[in-house]
Amino acid sequence: MPSRASDLDGRLGDVMLAAPDIDITVFRQQMARLGNAPCVGLCVVGDRALSLSSKIAGERPRLGALDPSNAQDRAALESLGVKSTI
């Protein structure tokens, strides 16, 4: 059960992220702190900015660049508790 402070004293509802430029590991840690609040991610396959960000970060995949039509990426998103769309 998340602490009251971690969910903004009960005021945090659904989370929607549009092409989030965030490392998957960092995202997993943040969602754990929020108690896995409902989250929807809008993925942008082939986004050049996310591709560059991944390269700068040492080829670490960005959450917004995952491809929900790819079985491996879809499994990664599901393991994070993210409903996704492209």
Residue ranges of domains in the chain: 22-85
Q: What is the pLDDT of residue 57?
A: 92
The pLDDT mean for the chain works out to 82
pLDDT at 40 > cutoff 90: no
Do 50 and 62 form a contact (C-beta atoms < 8 A)?
Answer: yes
pLDDT at 5 > cutoff 70: no
pLDDT > 70 fraction of the chain, expressed in percent and rounded: 83
Q: Count CB atoms within 10 A of the CB of residue 20.
A: 22
Q: Count CB atoms within 10 A of the CB of residue 64.
A: 22
Q: How far apart (Å, rounded) are the C-alpha atoms in residues 17 and 1?
A: 23
Give 45-85 pLDDT, tens digit per residue: 899 999 999 999 999 989 999 898 999 988 888 888 887 76
